Amino acid sequence: MGRNDMSEQANSQIQAASPSFETEVDILTIEHPLREAARMFARNKAAVGGLILLVGILILTLVVPFFYTVDPFDLVWAPLSPPGTENAPFGTDYLGRDILAGIVHGGSATLAVGASAALLAVVIGLSVGSLAGYYGGWVDEVLMRITEFFQVLPTLLFAMVIVALFRPSVATVAFAIGVVSWTAVARLARSEFLRIRSLDYIKAARSISSSNRRIIWLVILPNAMPPLVVQATLAVGGAILFEAGLSFLGLSDPNVMSWGFMIGSSRDYLMDAWWTVTIPGIFIFLTVLSVSLIGDGLNDATNPKLRER
Amino acid sequence: MTEETLLSIENLKVHFPLKTRGFSAPKSFVHAVDGIDLKIAKGKTFGIVGESGSGKTTTALAVMRLVPITSGAITLGDQRLDRLEGEELRRARRHMQIIFQDPYSSLNPRVRAGAIVREPMDLMDVGEKSEREDLVAELFRQVGLRPEQQALFPHQFSGGQRQRIGVARALASQPDLVVCDEPVSALDVAIQAQIINLLRKLQAELGLTYLFISHDLGVVQYICDDIAVMYLGKIVEMGDRISLFKEPLHPYTWALLSAVPSADPALRDRADRIRLQGDPPSPIDPPPGCGFASRCPFSQALCTMEAPQLRTIRTGHSVACHFVSDDGVPPQRKI
Amino acid sequence: MAEPLLEIKDLRVEFDTRDGVATVIDGLDISLYPGEILGIVGESGCGKSMTALSIMRLVPVPPGRIAKGTIRLDGEDLLQVSEKRMRGVRGNAISMIFQEPMTSLNPVFSVGDQIAETILLHEGGSKRAAWQRAVEMLDAVGIPVPEVRAREYPHQMSGGMRQRVMIAMALACQPRVLIADEPTTALDVTVQAQIFDLLKDLQKKTGAVIVLITHDMGAIAEMAQRVVVMYAGRKVEDGPVDEILTNPKHPYTTGLIGCVPHLSADPSEERVPLTDIPGVVPPMTRLGQGCPFAPRCSEAMDKCRLEMPTQSVVGEDHRVSCWLIENDGP
Ligand SMILES: Nc1ncnc2c1ncn2[C@@H]1O[C@H](COP(=O)(O)OP(=O)(O)OP(=O)(O)O)[C@@H](O)[C@H]1O
Ligand SMILES: Nc1ncnc2c1ncn2[C@@H]1O[C@H](COP(=O)(O)OP(=O)(O)OP(=O)(O)O)[C@@H](O)[C@H]1O
Ligand code: SF4
Ligand SMILES: [Mg+2]
Ligand SMILES: [Mg+2]
């Protein structure tokens, strides 16, 4: 009784002593994790640079085509004119096609292949990895054997086979790239699910009768998201490079202009007309760079270990 | 005095298979819990102490049906928990809840505190939907948080406050049994006292029964009514708090008591303190005989051949050691 | 009293954080006398490890810095000497063991190699002699069959064994000061008791001064002769252990002793509620100019919130920083 009184009294005294002591702490630290991540991201100069770069590239490939209406397949000037030529500021290729037009109109195909291939890789990888990591045991064994099988396949060769079997088109190329590059996502998702599955809040979720479906989708997945988002951005970059590689080997839709196609079709002129290959190459480089800078920034921003102290 | 038993465990075994390389290799098992019996009276606190790896957490998780049970019976009230599956198990979970050790990993970082406490009510149909909001606010008050803190995320609380959220979540389904797995071990001493006082207050108010796990003998002595000492998956001694601490019988219990650094000079300078050598043996395919034999200062040939059974020495006090005499003289006092 | 071996005076350590400058240690005075074990207790975050790191001059710079003060070892101010000289002091005159032995041992070298390496680094000599000494050290810390164990890797050992290896390594060069930062928190009580016995034994044999950092008053009672109680980076009370345990003056010390249920050989039926120190340690960036404990103190007065208490001497070698003492007189 006496003791309780004392601590009651102590409590009220503390409140009197510094009425805002506890609330102050709360208000100062009140911040949604997503908002905190956004703030951390904004503090990262490289990541913000990457974001600006990507926005610039998106404008170039999605908006500029409406203003710069030169058809990238039209022969506009003398073949292999160097950059700075009137009418063709980036020069022309071996047929006299405007390289600037190629850059402007070909970007969307490149980005579309990159994004949809990455999406496919994430969907397959996430499904395989989450099931393997969550259920473990023989499910894990089987799924991981399959993953290993895809991992040891020579990816470029396998993608070439797929593209050659079907007609090369944006969709088949995206499909082929997606099918060969999901394994990294699957491994990451598996390890994240394995890690989180053993945490106490999953036991807590089970002890309050949550179903497996609920635990996988509503409890583990949101917590596994940060590294997966990073992995997805890396997959986008990888897919763009892959598309360039396939095009370079002549395995892309000849009727659709893309940066990879530009490099692929001009590869024989690299020595005589560097700009025909280098200019689209620079744009691919900038795109991949911007996406991986953003990925890095997201990683840092969502990694609690790097926050604060 | 008749006491109603709330939880009873009979010959519980939990063995984890070890990953084996190849198919022909014989399977090894971790004997995490290797045949324990205990009974917890309604409204009481039952403590389990023991070395790291002795199977305390595994016992708790088995009671919660969160690890596969190898054999044995667990009865809560009049329900055989070990036999429940599917929908029945889901419904039974209401009656038992757990508080974890680590206040950081036990709360989903993406869910607000209020939702964490409300979730069990929604999933297990506690009360009317319309009442739940008030119930959550009331729980927050009961565990010493302010209801307006419901909107915060776990990382915005201190360790002690997070543990309070964990307590509120455990109480949300109005359980009979609350399993506390080292609920204060990860907290600072001053915060420990806050949580211990809270748990005692809640028990008095709500008539809760606790299965309380800890490796801190001081805490166990303070909060528990009956205590089991575990070593290598088995209970080596069990008794009420007065009897167990006044007259410990098993050499391991005695060693444990001797090892606790004490502020009490009387306890510190006792001449008959014993010190153990070495580390506990591995629970993987343990040898026959007394699990403590390899470290026990009193072990003899019999100890390594035959496992001592838990026998009752006096009311409410039993021990598993060959060399405790039937009238309760432990080996250390003879020497 | 004898001359102190190591003397910390008016130490101040600051950290740059998002919320401004955090003064994690302020106005700290600690003296170490030859042949003693000194305990440092306090809640998590009160600056115990930072004190140890300051002595080793291992405070991470930036974001941290030692802003003020002197740390004299035999009259030499360690905060002024060159980094090169400091490397000679670390692991040699002063060495340290940490809470988690696994992270402070290198997983890819055998433990014998690691101890021998330390010896070679500080004392030179032949590889063979160093290895021999390493085996002797392992023997001295009670590792059975040391010749064999020396060839093992850290992951092959139990937590208690690893902590023994850490102690062997720390003692390899006969340090005069050994700082043990919560050396047993990761261990079982029975193993903790072994480590404590070992430390006491070695202290008697080598005469090294031991600084034992812990949050367990029981461990202090068992091990130390003198104790420093810290709160929020400040020393609130220090004195002989028996005196502090039986006659604590600072409300925080009283709380620290009363809030733990101490194991008793003769428990009674009745159980009084534990002393409740409400609230938590305030963030170091937002300490006012008053006593840092005032917001949690049941005895706080207006003066406490406005002015930092000064140190008063309340007994032989017993000092307290609290306005209550000032008011009552010693
Ligand atoms: N899922 C598992 N698979 C295999 N072995 C396990 C598993 N869970 C626990 N174990 C083993 O079972 C034994 C008992 O573990 P348990 O966690 O119950 O010990 P504990 O008494 O709670 O210890 P602590 O004090 O360290 O928490 C240990 O040896 C542990 O390694
Ligand atoms: N890199 C850092 N940046 C900012 N503050 C820091 C940093 N490192 C430590 N601190 C702060 O310094 C203070 C003292 O920390 P210290 O590690 O000395 O505490 P401690 O008493 O050893 O606690 P514990 O018992 O948890 O080990 C803490 O408040 C901590 O938040
Ligand atoms: S049975 Fe033998 S080994 Fe086991 S505790 Fe008793 S005396 Fe020791
Ligand atoms: Mg455990
Ligand atoms: Mg520390």
For chain B, say whether A199 makes contact (Cβ under 8 Å): yes
- Residue C17: the pLDDT is 79
Going from the C-alpha of C196 to that of each of A45, C182, C224, the distances in angstroms are 50, 11, 11
Interfacial C residues in 58-117 facing A (CB < 8 Å) = 63
- Residue C39: the pLDDT is 95
**B218:C161 CB<8 A:** no
The pLDDT of A208-229, averaged and rounded, is 88
Which residues of C86-233 form beta strands (DSSP E)?
A: 94-97, 177-181, 209-214, 226-231
Tallying the residues shown for chain B, one arrives at 335
What is the total count of domains within chain A?
1
For chain C, say whether A6 makes contact (Cβ under 8 Å): yes
B132 contact residues in A (CB cutoff 8 A):
none
- The tens digit of pLDDT for each residue in B92-135 reads 999 999 999 998 899 998 888 999 999 999 999 888 888 899 99
Specify which of A8-22, A225-239, B38-52, C63-77 reaches the highest per-range mean pLDDT. B38-52
- Residue A7: the pLDDT is 40
Give me the residue from C17, C18, C295 closest to A21, CB to CB: C295
Closest-CA distance, C300 to chain B, in angstroms, reads 18
Asked whether the beta carbons of B215 and C188 are under 8 A apart, the reply is yes
Q: What is the dihedral of CA C119, C123, C127, C131, to 10 degrees?
A: -30
More confident: B5 or A75: B5
Interfacial B residues in 268-287 facing C (CB < 8 Å) = 268, 270, 275-277, 279-280
Q: Residue type at B20?
A: T
The pLDDT of C172-179, averaged and rounded, is 88
Among the listed ranges A218-222, C46-50, C152-156, C241-245, which one has the minimum average pLDDT value?
A: C152-156
Domain that holds residue B188: 5-19+27-334
Tell me which residue has tokens 């995320």: B153
Chain centre to alpha carbon of residue B83: 22
Neighbours of C58 (CB within 10 A): 15
Tell me the sheet residues that pair with B36: B12
SS (H, E, C) A219-251: HHHHHHHHHHHHHHHHHHHHHHHHHHHHHHCCC
Asked whether the beta carbons of B233 and B286 are under 8 A apart, the reply is yes
Burial class (CB in 10 A: 0-12, 13-18, 19+), B13: middle
- Residue B38: the pLDDT is 94
Closest-CA distance, C50 to chain A, in angstroms, reads 14
For chain C, say whether B190 makes contact (Cβ under 8 Å): yes
**A207:B66 CB<8 A:** yes
Q: Find the C29 Cα to ligand 1 centroid distance in Å.
A: 44
* Res A300 pLDDT > 80: no
More confident: B201 or A243: B201
What token pair was written down for A173?
């190329």
B136 contact residues in A (CB cutoff 8 A):
none
Give me the residue from A10, A21, A25 closest to C298, CB to CB: A10
Tallying the residues shown for chain C, one arrives at 330
Q: Which residues are CB-contacts of C281 (< 8 A; sequence separation ≥ 6)?
A: C43, C44, C45, C46, C231, C232
What token pair was written down for A180?
């060969």
Model confidence at C1, pLDDT cuts 50, 70, 90, reads: low
* Res C303 pLDDT > 50: yes
Domain CATH for B126: 3.40.50.300
What is the interface pTM, i.e. ipTM, of the complex? 0.86
Q: Is the dihedral of CA C106, C111, C117, C123 positive or negative?
A: positive
* Res A80 pLDDT > 80: no
- Report the phi/psi class of residue B20: left, alpha or beta, with left for phi > 0 and alpha for psi in -120 to 50: beta
Domain that holds residue A285: 59-77+90-306
A26 contact residues in B (CB cutoff 8 A):
149, 152, 156
For chain C, say whether A25 makes contact (Cβ under 8 Å): yes
**Of all atoms in ligand 1, which is nearest to the CA of residue B101?**
27
- Residue B317: the pLDDT is 93
More confident: A155 or B121: B121
The pLDDT of C143-160, averaged and rounded, is 83
The radius of gyration of chain A from alpha carbons, rounded to an integer in Å, stands at: 26
Q: Find the B331 Cα to ligand 1 centroid distance in Å.
A: 30
Q: Which ligand approaches the C-alpha of residue C62 most closely?
A: 2
More confident: A268 or B249: B249
Domain CATH for A112: 1.10.3720.10
How far is it, in rounded angstroms, from Cα C81 to Cα C66?
14
More confident: A101 or C180: C180
Q: What string of DSSP letters covers B165-221?
A: HHHHHHHTT--SEEEEESTTTTS-HHHHHHHHHHHHHHHHHH--EEEEE-S-HHHHH
* Res A10 pLDDT > 50: no
B221 contact residues in C (CB cutoff 8 A):
261, 263-264, 267
- Residue C38: the pLDDT is 95
How far is it, in rounded angstroms, from Cα C313 to Cα C330?
7
Q: Find the B16 Cα to ligand 1 centroid distance in Å.
A: 9
Interface probe, candidates A21, A30, A43, chain C, greatest C C-beta count within 10 A: A21
- Residue B21: the pLDDT is 55
- The tens digit of pLDDT for each residue in C63-74 reads 889 989 999 988
User: What angle is formed at CA A280 by the lines to CA A275 and CA A286, rounded to 5 degrees?
Assistant: 120
- Residue C44: the pLDDT is 85
- Output the CATH code of domain C6-93+175-262+274-328: 3.40.50.300
Specify which of A156-170, A295-309, B233-247 reaches the highest per-range mean pLDDT. B233-247
The pLDDT of C235-245, averaged and rounded, is 92
- Residue A42: the pLDDT is 85
Q: Which helix (H) or strand (E) holds C68?
A: strand C64-73
Model confidence at C224, pLDDT cuts 50, 70, 90, reads: very high
Computed over every residue of chain C, the mean pLDDT equals 86
Q: What string of DSSP letters covers chain A?
A: -HHHHHHHHHHHHHHHHSTTHHHHHHHHH---HHHHHHHHHHH-HHHHHHHHHHHHHHHHHHTHHHH----TTSB-SSTTPPTTBTTBTT-B-TT-BBHHHHHHHHHHHHHHHHHHHHHHHHHHHHHHHHHHHHH-HHHHHHHHHHHHHHHHS-HHHHHHHHHHHSPP-HHHHHHHHHHHH-HHHHHHHHHHHHHHHTSHHHHHHHHTT--HHHIIIIIIHHHHHHHHHHHHHHHHHHHHHHHHHHHHTT-S-TTS--HHHHHHHTGGGTTT-HHHHHHHHHHHHHHHHHHHHHHHHHHHHH-GGGS--
Burial class (CB in 10 A: 0-12, 13-18, 19+), A181: buried
What token pair was written down for C15?
């950290």
Q: Which residues are CB-contacts of C79 (< 8 A; sequence separation ≥ 6)?
A: C57, C66, C69, C70, C71
- Residue A16: the pLDDT is 34
For chain A, say whether B101 makes contact (Cβ under 8 Å): yes
How far is it, in rounded angstroms, from Cα A49 to Cα A47?
5
C218 contact residues in B (CB cutoff 8 A):
218, 260-263
Give me the residue from A201, A203, A208 closest to B124, CB to CB: A208
- Report the phi/psi class of residue A239: left, alpha or beta, with left for phi > 0 and alpha for psi in -120 to 50: alpha
What is the total count of domains within chain B?
1
Among all residues of chain A, which has the CA nearest to that of C283?
A: A25
Tell me which residue has tokens 């409204």: B43
- Residue C284: the pLDDT is 78
**B241:C216 CB<8 A:** no
- The tens digit of pLDDT for each residue in B178-224 reads 999 999 988 888 889 999 999 999 999 999 999 999 988 999 999 99
- Residue A12: the pLDDT is 37
- Residue C98: the pLDDT is 82
